[in-house]
Amino acid sequence: MQPYIPVDDCCALRMLKKLKSLFSGSHPAASAIVPHIPEGERVYAVGDIHGRLDLFEQLIARIEADDLARGPARTCVVLLGDLIDRGENSAGVIARARNWARQRPLRILAGNHEEMFLDSFDSDEVLRHFLRHGGRETLLSYGLDPHDYARMTLEDLREAMPVLVPAEDIAFVRAMEDQVRIGDYLFVHAGIRPGVALEAQATSDLRWIRGEFLGSSTPRDFAVVHGHTITPEAEILPLRIGIDTGAYASGRLTAVGLEGAGRWVLGICGEPREDVAA
């Protein structure tokens, strides 16, 4: 018996058409277990925000209202990483996440973009990669003038970054987790290496893996909730839930709610960005 999945999303009609085919997938362990969140607990997981503070604010309000409407529970929110880069207000997203963490239980995962951000403080090679993949927007969100940016060398930028980015924000990002296990659910940014025990998973896989994880048929006794890989809509499979809907470009930020065996989707559809490719 499959868990009931109510859908509360601005793209609900399209999702409803897909749910039947998603649950008919041939994962070898799909019929073996029905993943559960422990009794009395409720979890929301939020996909890749990528600097879209506008969407993040709306989704926070949506989650808080949904949680209140469903009645008392020990509720935790998991942010699946890639809070920064590409969108125009990474600094605002970090500040809002820090504030939200003071108001409710919040677990935050480090994604590959947080990894690039931290490593770019010490490496020109990583900084160059970071800037090509949305780091420019992150630095501008911390107050760097675009005209100054255009004239700066990599060395100039690395010297400026510790001044631009508050130490408390750096510490906040460094404290982000790599994986969170709640009941029969594992929350990671990108995925896991098939056939490798959770305690032996490489950090690089948890933050960067894609095809090997998505295409795996290795049996497991838990479901994985992840972001990292962009899909037009949330992918709700029995043992895998992907909720990166490309917010920075599409204007669509997605969360999944979990309680008992139940699952439901919350989504915000804002304005897409025409100057970037999905």
Q: Look at 8-22, 62-76, 109-123 and tell me which has the smallest mean pLDDT.
A: 8-22
pLDDT value of residue 33: 84
224 domain residue, yes or no? yes
| pLDDT class of 19 with cuts at 50, 70, 90 | very low
- Is 70 exceeded by the pLDDT of residue 5? no
69 domain residue, yes or no? yes
Encode 152-177: b = buried (16+ Cβ within 10 Å), e = exposed: beeeebbebbeebbeeebbebbeebb
Place of tokens 């994880």: 213
145 domain residue, yes or no? yes
Q: What tens digit of pLDDT does each residue of 138-192 get?
A: 999 999 999 999 999 999 999 999 999 999 999 999 999 999 999 999 999 999 9
Of 86 and 26, the one with more pLDDT: 86
277 domain residue, yes or no? no
Euclidean distance between CA atoms 178 and 189, whole angstroms: 8
Q: Look at 3-12, 64-73, 136-145, 154-163 and tell me which has the smallest mean pLDDT.
A: 3-12
Q: How many CA atoms lie within 13 A of 271 on its CB side?
A: 7
pLDDT value of residue 100: 98
pLDDT value of residue 143: 97
273 domain residue, yes or no? no
| pLDDT class of 72 with cuts at 50, 70, 90 | very high
DSSP code, position 102: T
Euclidean distance between CA atoms 116 and 126, whole angstroms: 6
Structural domain including 152 reads 7-265
Euclidean distance between CA atoms 215 and 218, whole angstroms: 9
216 domain residue, yes or no? yes
Q: Can you give the CATH number for the domain in which 49 is found?
A: 3.60.21.10
Rounded to two decimals, the pTM is 0.88
- Is 80 exceeded by the pLDDT of residue 11? no
Nearest-10 crossing angle of helices 167-174, 90-101: 70
Q: Count the Cβ atoms, other than its own, within 10 Å of residue 274.
A: 7
Averaged pLDDT, 19-39: 60
Percent of the chain topping pLDDT 70: 87
72 domain residue, yes or no? yes
For residue 148, the surrounding DSSP H or E stretch is helix 146-151
pLDDT value of residue 32: 65
Tokens of 150: 């255009």
Averaged pLDDT, 108-134: 97
- Contact, 269 vs 10, CB < 8 A? yes
- Residues ≥6 apart with Cβ < 8 Å to 39: 260
| pLDDT class of 13 with cuts at 50, 70, 90 | very low
Q: Residue 159, SS3? A: helix
User: What DSSP line would sit under 167-198, residue for residue?
Assistant: HHHHHHHHT-BSEEEETTEEEESS---TTS-G
**Structural domain tally of the chain?**
1
CA distances from 64 to 76, 251, 259 (A): 11, 20, 15
| pLDDT class of 14 with cuts at 50, 70, 90 | very low
58 domain residue, yes or no? yes
Euclidean distance between CA atoms 269 and 11, whole angstroms: 8
| pLDDT class of 250 with cuts at 50, 70, 90 | very high
